[in-house]
Structure 1
Amino acid sequence: MLQESETEDDLQKAAARFHGVSGGILVYFPNFAGGGAERVFLRFIVRLHQLGIPVRLVVNSDGGPLKGQLPDTIPCDVLGSRKSFRTLLPLARLLRRERPAAMLSALTGANLNSVTARMLSGVDCNLVICQRNHFSAHLRQLAPLRRLFRKSAVKLLYPKADVITANTAELARDLEEAAGLPPDAVRVIPNPAPDPDQAAAARAALNPHPWFDDEIPVAVAIARLEPAKDYPTMLRAIARLEGRLRLIILGEGSQRGAIERMIEELNLSETVELAGFQDNRFDYLARARVFILSSIREGFPNALIEAVSFGIPSVSTDCAGGGPAALLGQEFPELIVPPGDDEALAQAIANVLDQPNEPEKFTAIAAQYSLDKMTLRFLDVLMKAPN
């Protein structure tokens, strides 16, 4: 494992290869939504900028709660539509104008756009595309015709990228199989952990919720209120614990109404709170007794690596995508439970509450995933010569 000083030296050497390069690096994703991919790549963009690498962001539309995290000193081009197919030609024109040395895109629609736009533009930039979800599980959620179109498009266009990355080995193997890619065609680059000073600042911040002042321990969950996150299993697990802890859920989404109704049905109104999207989620994590993830499918969950970096015992389902198992499974197999099993989830949470917290065991895991280490791995693939 690289020591931090070695990582910094290698990072500076890698960055120096981009200093003065015409066009720099262009990063493309759909918008500033509050998802994990957007958080990761905004942090990555800011780090590149700090290293003196010319970088610019391109988005389809500029809506979303994370917009304020992009510094004014970093150029941002807005293509003008939430529909990816309507932004294809504007993206191709932008590539011809800026002529970047390398382009990095994230999320399936943006990846397909970036491959096609590069072909249309005729620009010979190195193209790295990043798969952030479990592709075959994602396909199963689509209507038959759209499923066929999406799979065909990925099989046709993904191989034309110079490098394909995923944030877990399971996502990589799934994509290779579903898209007909050869073995080991997809590079694995996990999501980065928060910086240590972010944890320190969160602990010093004002208490964000009165429940943290009570004797009843508080669990925190951070995920969009969408079917893939399987909040019903989490709520049933909390009900099984019969008041041993409270739960604060940070996030918004299409399932809010259904989740609110289930909270009422399970008599959890005094135990569970939907706190919505919160910019200061770290202030909640810093005070949590346990973190809970109940997803059906995930890549490498940002919220989970954030909780682990804070030293918080974290209970997760062994969901499709493999991120939680990859992160926690070796050191803490007892914290990984089957998806959809509220009884097993409740038992794992109860076991955490019955044991003393040992935060250093969790922070040691997170140290392997520092932002600089992950930035170095991205720079390595971005600097590869195009085919």
Structure 2
Amino acid sequence: MKKSIAFVLPNLNAGGAQRVISSLANLLIKEYHVLIVVHYKCEPFYKLNSNIKINYCQLQYNTNTNKLHSLTNNYRLVKNLTRILKEHKTDIAIAFLPATNIYTILASKFAKIPCIISERANPELFHINAFWHTVRKLAYPFSSRLVVQTIGTKNYFKKYSKSEIEIIKNPLNSDLLNKRDVLIPKENIILNVGRLIEIKNQDLLIRAFSNIKHGNWKLILVGDGDRYESYKKLISSLKMEEHIILAGNISDVSEYYNKAKIFAFTSKHEGFPNVITEAMSFGLACISTDCPFGPSELIKNNENGFLIPVGDQKALEIGLTELINNPELRNAFSEKSSLSLQANNPNEIASQWSTLINKLIEKQ
């Protein structure tokens, strides 16, 4: 008989954790009854198998930051999550992101089931407030297992988590991979995919591109965020409206991956850069900042891509210029990229999760 698993996360909006859970849920639905529990009602941004059930702890997002309201809201989230886990006879809960991890540890104890928690961001640079940091240190040892994506993140949590820590990399998106079409002609496009926020540092890319001899090349940024308007003004001030395009949020980025020749990534830090694995799987030549953590575990400098220091506009300009003017190098990076992604094969990642899930359920 199929076991029942529940993924828990804040929402189903566009985002790295949401993309990974959607991919995992679609992969694991063959083996398990899969439930996704989110804090509040929202429409899924990523496509989900019709057999996956979705449940909500509350109907609306609580924007009230009053301490009493926050405490009441947290209590309700844990109470409702516990109720949902019990009603669906869940065998194990799997949570992503710090606050949700803590709610799920508590709810899983009340529901008397094991739980896996997962950290997706770089904990050395992605700071949570003092209260949640303290609660996290107290709560995490009570999880059944902590899953991270990089060696750097594992080393950080070794300091205070008594739970076993496992590294499981993010799976390549199967649906996205199936849309790769080598017959689509490549265009002179440099692509960036990600939220337009401060840590992604796309203004560095915009300035670097505007400062090189780009000829008939275009820079396309896919994503949205609080920097959208400021980037729009920056592009206008540089008189680059015809060469730099803000495409906004796109649910299916395969069109851009299929057309682009170069992928540029400028983050200051990452939990794990899913978009680099996607770009490499589509055969794009990649240039990325060597930020903690992730890019250096995917890109070997001058072998299958370029790694540059964080915030180094000059190095970015040199790298982009080399990739634009050297099609042989682009092709070499493209061919070597696919060979380096075997560890991110969706079925392999799903198998690692399945092994861990079954082990913890059997121990219960």
> Structure 2-normalised TM-score?
0.88
Give the residue type in structure 2 aligned to 1:191.
Answer: N
What is the aligned-residue identity percentage? 23
**How far apart are 1:135 and its partner, in Å?**
1.4
Counterpart of 1:133 in structure 2 is: 121
Q: Which among 67, 85, 90 is matched to residue 95 of structure 1?
A: 85
Aligned pairs (5 A) from 1:46-125:
46-49=26-29, 51-64=30-43, 66=45, 69-80=47-58, 81-83=60-62, 85=74, 86-119=76-109, 121=110, 123-125=111-113
Deviation at 1:61, TM superposition (A): 2.1
Q: Which of 334, 340, 350 is matched with 1:365 structurally? A: 340
Deviation of 1:240 after TM superposition, in Å, equals 2.1
Alignment of 1:166-315 (within 5 A): 166-177=148-159, 180-181=160-161, 185-195=164-174, 198-199=176-177, 201-203=179-181, 217-244=188-215, 245-315=217-287
The residue type paired with residue 273 of structure 2 is: P
1:176–1:331 distance in 2 versus 1, CA, 3 Å? farther
Report deviation, 1:201. 3.0
The aligned residue for residue 335 of structure 1 is 306
RMSD, aligned CA: 2.3
Instruction: Report the AA paired with residue 161 of structure 1.
Output: S
> 1-side partners of 2:43 and 2:306: how far apart?
33
Counterpart residue identity of residue 133, structure 1: A
Contact 1:220 1:292 in 2 (8 A): yes
Please state which structure has a larger fraction of its residues in helix: 1
Give CA deviations for 1:275-311 in whole Å, capped at 9, x if unaligned.
0011220111111110011011112211110001111
In 1, Cα distance between the equivalents of 2:205 and 2:56? Answer: 38
| Structure 1 equivalent of residue 354 of structure 2 | 379
Q: Which residue of 2 aligns with 1:318?
A: 290
Aligned position for 2:23: 43
CA contact (8 A) 2:119 2:148 kept: yes
Letter in 1 for 2:54: C
Instruction: Give distance in 1, aligned partners of 2:210 and 2:346.
Output: 37
SS in 2 for 1:39: helix
Relative to structure 2, which stretch is displaced further, 36-45 or 344-353?
Answer: 344-353
CA distance in 2, matches of 1:79, 1:257: 33
Structure 2 unaligned runs (5+)?
A: 63-72
8 Å CA contact 1:102–1:383 kept in 2: the answer is no
Q: Secondary structure at the match of 1:311?
A: coil
Between the two proteins, the alignment pairs up a number of residues equal to 345
Measure, in 1, the Cα distance between the counterparts of 2:116 and 2:89: 15
- Residues 317 and 371 from structure 1, CA distance in 2 versus in 1: closer, same or farther, beyond 3 angstroms? same
Give the residue type in structure 2 aligned to 1:153.
Answer: V
Letter in 1 for 2:122: H
- Kept in 1, the 8 Å contact 2:213–2:321? The answer is no
State the alpha-carbon separation in 2 of the partners of residues 97 and 335 from structure 1.
50
Q: 1:138 to 1:200 in 2, by over 3 A?
A: closer
Distance 1:259 1:158 in 2: 39
Could you tell me which amino acid in structure 2 is paired with residue 44 of structure 1? L
TM-aligned CA distance change 1:169 to 1:376, over 3 Å: same
Give, as a single letter, the amino acid of the residue that structure 2 aligns with 1:26: A
Q: Considering Cα pairs closer than 8 Å and 6+ residues apart, tell me whether 1 or 2 has the greater RCO.
A: 1
Asked if 2 retains the 8 angstrom alpha-carbon contact of 1:30 and 1:60, the reply is yes
Q: Distance in 2 between matches of 1:41 and 1:188?
A: 16
Q: Say if 1:311 and 1:202 are closer, same or farther in 2 by CA, change over 3 A.
A: closer
